[in-house]
Amino acid sequence: MQRFNFPGDVHFVTFRTDKSQPYFKDEKCCELFLGNLEFYREKYNLKIYGYVILWDHIHLLIEMDLEKFPELTISKVMQDFK
């Protein structure tokens, strides 16, 4: 699959919990996720346009700052985040 990584691109990201466990039924797990999301937003100067937290998976709309971090890819962000 061809991948694109241009300044201004907004990436739609979806990922599941391990073995589709419903971890996000627990409010504390949601708060932990949001705290981590904020940490990585600041670390990489990400723009988060939206997110959805479901019991066993997450949806995100993310834009990366490729002028400040030209080597950054969405794969690297998600690998670091996970």
Of 26, 20, 81, 28, the residue nearest 56 (C-alpha) = 20
Q: What is the pLDDT of residues 27-52, one digit of tens each?
A: 999 999 999 999 999 999 999 999 99
Query: How is residue 53 written in tokens?
Result: 């937290």
Mean pLDDT of 4-26: 90
**How much is the pLDDT for 8?**
84
Give how far Cα 23 sits from Cα of 12, 41, 68, Å. Answer: 21, 22, 34
Q: What is the pLDDT of residues 53-69, one digit of tens each?
A: 999 999 999 999 988 98
**How much is the pLDDT for 78?**
87
